[in-house]
Amino acid sequence: MRRLILFLLITWKYNDGTQAKPLDYTNDVVPLIQKYCVDCHSDDDAEADLNFDDFRSVDDLRSDTKAWIKVEKMLISRQMPPRKSDQPSDTERDKLSGWVHDFLVTEAEARAGDPGRVVLRRLNNDEYNYTVRDLTGVTSLDPTQEFPVDGAAGEGFTNSGEAQGMSSALAMKYLDAAKEVASHAVLTPEGIRFSPYTTERDRTDDLMSRIQAFYRQFTEDGGGSAVNLHGIKFTTNQGGRLPLARYLAATLAEREALKSGTKTLESVAKERSLNAKYLRTLWETLSSDKAGGGTLLGGLREKWEATESGDPAELVAQIDQAQKKLWKFNTIGHIDSEGSAPRWMETVGVKDLVTTRHDIKWSLPVGSDGADVVFYLITDDANDGNKDDYVVWKNLRLEGAGKPPMQLRELAALQRRIDEQRFKMLGLTARYLEAASAVKVGSDISKVASAHKVDEEALKVWMDYLAIGRSSGVKVEGHLQKKINLRDGITGLAADTPDSLPSVVANSSDKDERIPGLAKAHTVVMHPTPTHFSAVGWQSPIEGKVRVEAFVRDAHGNCGNGVEWLLQHRVSGKTAVLWQGEYELGGSAEMIPREVTVRKGEVLSLVIGPRKNNHSCDLTTVQLVISETDGDERVWDLAKEVSPNIQAGNPREDSHGNSKVWHFFQGEMAKVDRADASIVNVPKGSVLEQWVTEKEPEKRKDLARQVQALATGPVPD
């Protein structure tokens, strides 16, 4: 067939409408080509990549139809032969162009349905993106984001394979894109699905958010609990609550219709977008005619029946109150771990709510500025009526470390005895001051007391109050000298031990850091050991009254068992505890500010120790602020003064230029004095201070009589 077509092509008949003459390619066409074309398009000089010497057979003609398409365009547009070359006559041009045209038409008809060899076409960038997204269902995938822009191949945008390039670099990008898409695959028991995320955590969070979104259709926000995590405050448990008010409102509004049967529970649930199963459970519970007077459900039924307004607010409040008593929410992060709760929500049985005996222990706070501390004992009927209720308070007493319990019933008599003894001792103030003046280094206190006819123990109290025989300077030992640098901005001092504990560390940066445990920006944290405490001390560079403020907070609240702390006022040979306590995991405490009279060289120290000898995760944020209440009213702020450069020295100077004020030290927990010793100092500017500083004996006696008159007389205005 193809041979026949070629024969017809070569023996094409030229017909101008008046005659027909056989046209032979070799005899009629080739001479024209040789006459006008071969000078520029032959083996010797083939311009424009066109060589007519290549067309020597039928197969040669048919193998390069593109060349003949170009020839036809040049002939029709009269671009060839060039103007400077010999030009064919119109008859010759028509004969040649007509033959070429019919050759191309004939060849196109012969090849219809058979385009021959074509370049395999790939998807362009957009098609590839859309295909991957359709197959995976992940609309965020963009596998071609690193691909080069699709080419236009000279004739504008085209989907033909010849217009698309495929370099080795692009092939590698296809492989990388395939790896990226494959990283989104998730194996499931049913097969494979694709996720927008590639990490296990993100996939889990995505599934959780989808589950929550499903339940959010039937729940509401509210009922959150305030949580303070490392100083970050937020509300938890605030979502997923049953919209009880909507269900109760539906039962109230449709009560008569449901009782009469004109409406069904299913239709009410559909109208109000409620869950039909729960609505039925609630309706059957509230509309039941079972006897239940005096019970929780019985009381709810009575209130529900008596509610005519359609407003369920009182019912919701009563149910909410019962839920808080009957259910306990546990910390999710510790569920099912050793010693922790087995589930998030636990029921609290009625037996746990009602008790016949309860032991109460409460630490009495220290009164500020001499104010009384009032402790109230209150009982209530728990809103169930006071019939047959009674409470017996038994064995009310005060207890102190190392002291026998003091029954409250004995306090009145004790107070009378104290008042009598105090008045008797104050009436002998001048004599006690004279005896105190007679005490010298090495004196026998017993003989001095006997010679002046005063009580020996009372004389010792006066001597302690007047600071006779004791130095105010305190020697701080156990300084932390090892410098530790955890990373930029996190530096500190530690004991020279393998684990660098105990330690004091400061965060001088502007951001919170985990080391582990949270060291907030511009704060100081401390860490003890099972046997040694870590402490910071302020050695007073002044004499006078100061205001002391402090707080401690668990900086590693996801493990451990909390810490023990003490704030001590140390003088030579005596230590007073201004504030002490302990907290459990995640706890914190803030000191009620106290005013303390200090002498130069005395020390206020904040001590952090392990709770129950367990120091794991005991990193503790500490703050100590000491403010001068008179004079220059200077302030010493631990975090502000120390956190910028904690390694400047130990001891180190304060921000006011006083040397050896801040101390960072350690000590044995077994030697910590937890008993509170009283430290008092003579008030500045008082008559008693004048007596202390007076050297003239007669003037001293006169001042002693004035002190006695003030002590035994009425309280001055």
Q: Which of 61-65, 317-321, 430-434, 537-541 has the lowest mean pLDDT?
A: 61-65
CA dist 554 and 517 (Å) reads 9
CB proximity list for 302: less than 8 A, separation 6 or greater: 293
Given a cut of 90, is residue 553 above it in pLDDT? Answer: yes
Mean pLDDT across 157-178: 81
pLDDT score recorded for residue 15: 38
pLDDT band (50, 70, 90) for residue 596: confident
**Lookup: tokens for 466:** 């007047």
Q: How many CB atoms lie within 10 A of CB 5?
A: 15
pLDDT band (50, 70, 90) for residue 469: low
Mean pLDDT across 279-290: 87
* Dihedral sign for Cα atoms in the order 287, 290, 291, 294: negative
pLDDT score recorded for residue 424: 83
In contact, 490 and 515? CB cutoff 8 Å: yes
- Per DSSP, the three-state class of 406 is strand
In contact, 701 and 443? CB cutoff 8 Å: no
Computed over every residue of the chain, the mean pLDDT equals: 82
Residue-wise pLDDT for 102-156, tens only, equals: 888 888 888 777 666 777 778 888 889 999 999 999 999 999 999 988 776 544 4
pLDDT band (50, 70, 90) for residue 16: very low
pLDDT score recorded for residue 569: 92
Q: Where are the beta strands (DSSP E) in 437-511?
A: 482-487, 490-494, 503-507
pLDDT band (50, 70, 90) for residue 349: low
Residue length of the chain: 717
pTM of this structure? 0.43
pLDDT score recorded for residue 621: 95
Phi, psi (degrees; rounded to nearest 5) at 572: -65, 115
Given a cut of 70, is residue 9 above it in pLDDT? Answer: no
Q: Where are the domains of the chain?
A: 2-110, 125-182, 244-328, 413-466+687-712, 482-671
Q: Which of 23-27, 270-274, 300-304 has the lowest mean pLDDT?
A: 23-27
Amino acid at 468: I
In contact, 575 and 675? CB cutoff 8 Å: no
Amino acid at 637: D
Residue-wise pLDDT for 49-58, tens only, equals: 787 777 777 6
* Dihedral sign for Cα atoms in the order 293, 298, 301, 307: positive
CA dist 203 and 197 (Å) reads 6
Q: How many CB atoms lie within 10 A of CB 483?
A: 13
Given a cut of 60, is residue 1 above it in pLDDT? Answer: no
Topology at the third CATH level for domain 482-671:
Jelly Rolls (2.60.120)
More confidently predicted of 656 and 18: 656
| pLDDT over 90, % of the chain | 30
pLDDT score recorded for residue 107: 83
